[in-house]
Amino acid sequence: MKKTKLLQSDLSYVIATLGHMDTLVVADAGLPIPPETLRIDLALTQGVPGAIQTLNVILDEMQVEKVILAEEVQDHNPKFLTEVQKLLPEVPVEFVTHSQLKARTADARAVVRTGEFSPYANVILVSGVVF
């Protein structure tokens, strides 16, 4: 049995196979996921699991070089933005429009759908390297 926090096998596999600059999206319950993009659906009910809770577990296993957020999060969900920045204090943040963020999900290795029900609670994680 694994010793780390992350037990969900599909998500663990995707993280283990990420290369430098590959992306992984942690999404709220409402983000549209392109049919060609791998969907890892963790959503059980409203708020379970939350996006920050999910992100916290992912960060135990994934090296993140950059974070991409919708610029709308600054005005419509500053609490989410603060929590992301608290988890990744040294990681640069790029802001794009929500439409651009949705378009970029098509190029992600996977989208992890959470039960998050707050607006603009979506984050694109850009994979870094550990050396």
Catalytic residues: 20
Token representation of residue 23: 């992306």
Strand-pair category, 39-41 with 23-27? unpaired
At 73, give phi and psi (nearest 5°).
-60, -30
Q: How many angstroms separate the CA atoms of 30 and 43, rounded? A: 10
* Contacts of 1 by beta carbon, 8 Å cutoff, 6+ apart: none
